[in-house]
Amino acid sequence: MKFMVEICKLVGRFKVVLVMVMVQVAYTGSNVLYKLAASDGMSLRIIVAYRFIFASAFMIPLALIFERKNRPKLTWMILFQAFLCGLFGGSLFQHMYLESLVLTSATFATAMFNIVPAVTFILAISFRLEKVGIKTLAGRAKVMGTLMGIGGAMFLTFYKGAEINLWKTHINLLKHYHSHEGQLASSDDHGNYTLGCLLAVASCFSYALWLIIQAKMSPRYPCPYSSTALMSLMASIQAVVYALCMEKDWGQWKLGWNIRLLTAAYLGIVVVGMMVTLVIWCVRLRGPLFVSIFNPLFLVFTALAGSMLLNETLHLGSILGATLIICGLYAVLWGKNVEIKKISDSNVENSNTEHDMP
């Protein structure tokens, strides 16, 4: 019994960390399903549109039921911030990221996405949501951990090394679908490749900016279900309008009992509905940098999932890169924990001083 109590206390202490690891695992599932849907010929723009339609349909009833009594009044400022969240963290980010996949390569776009922690760090300092504290050990740990995470992600992406055969599942889900390589093929045109590079970088800034806006919005509207519902609704309107303007084939919108419906439902309900709600909750508790530093774990889980489910080969670079990412993550978590403890101790001292005053 005492052991179970200790386990519960440990889980309570690290619940935010466990939540963010779970978020990255869910993102990995979306990556696998996205590959399957793209291989089946589903339009990338339609995937994005359905992603937020399903998310809106799932989150709006939850927000109305669970946050009916404690939801603050909806103001024009909150609506504007929700619109920006839907744009930078939803439709614009998704379209720029997926378009960069088409114009460059999956390897390049995935590698570039790992500069999000660094961009978030810079923006958080600029908006005074984080303090560098480079003279303190905790501050140096945050900076070094962020750099180690980015370095590990780049190492995992660009260095292969020897093949590692830890297991052989002989499972390849892609073989059940007709390959449509045109959607994800690299372009040989230099102008298009340059545009793809710019879009990849812009998508990183867009995602980081969403985390910053969300951190600003959370104190004013501390309702994760309602925040996700508003963001999903705004993003669905933006994505549907864009898809209707760009896609001329109405057959692309058809969903059957197949991988397309599963992908749209999973991306909308699990990834946007559940996971974005958890991300918003974590941003409110620990700030945007804390959330962004978990992004490189996505690469680690994707490499493992690809090895187990898509018959992809695991290489030495994946193992070394994953080790660097985990070490960097630990350094940032340690630095944040020291800062939180220091703030907590300071608040206790101030409270005691006030009580002692006559």
Would you give the DSSP letter of residue 314? E
CA proximity to 271, closest of 6, 18, 10, 31 = 31
Between CA 62 and CA 230 the distance in angstroms is: 12
Segment 150-162 shows an average pLDDT of 73
User: Which range, of 1-15, 67-81, 167-181, 259-273, averages the lowest pLDDT?
Assistant: 167-181
Between CA 222 and CA 86 the distance in angstroms is: 17
Q: Is 97 helix (H, G, I), strand (E, B) or coil?
A: helix
The pLDDT of residue 288: 83
The pLDDT of residue 85: 94
Higher pLDDT, 82 or 311: 82
Measured in whole angstroms, how far is the alpha carbon of residue 132 from the centre of its chain?
Answer: 23
Maximum mean pLDDT: which of 42-46, 135-139, 154-158, 182-186: 42-46
Segment 219-237 shows an average pLDDT of 92
| pLDDT of residue 186 exceeding 50 | no
Contact 178, 39 (CB under 8 A): yes
Q: What share of the chain is helix, strand, coil (3-state, %, to 5)?
A: 80, 0, 20
The pLDDT of residue 25: 87
Segment 339-344 shows an average pLDDT of 71
Residue with tokens 């020291």: 338
Residue 41's CB is within 10 A of a number of other CB atoms, namely 14
Maximum mean pLDDT: which of 253-257, 286-290, 328-332: 253-257
Between CA 37 and CA 51 the distance in angstroms is: 12
The pLDDT of residue 185: 47
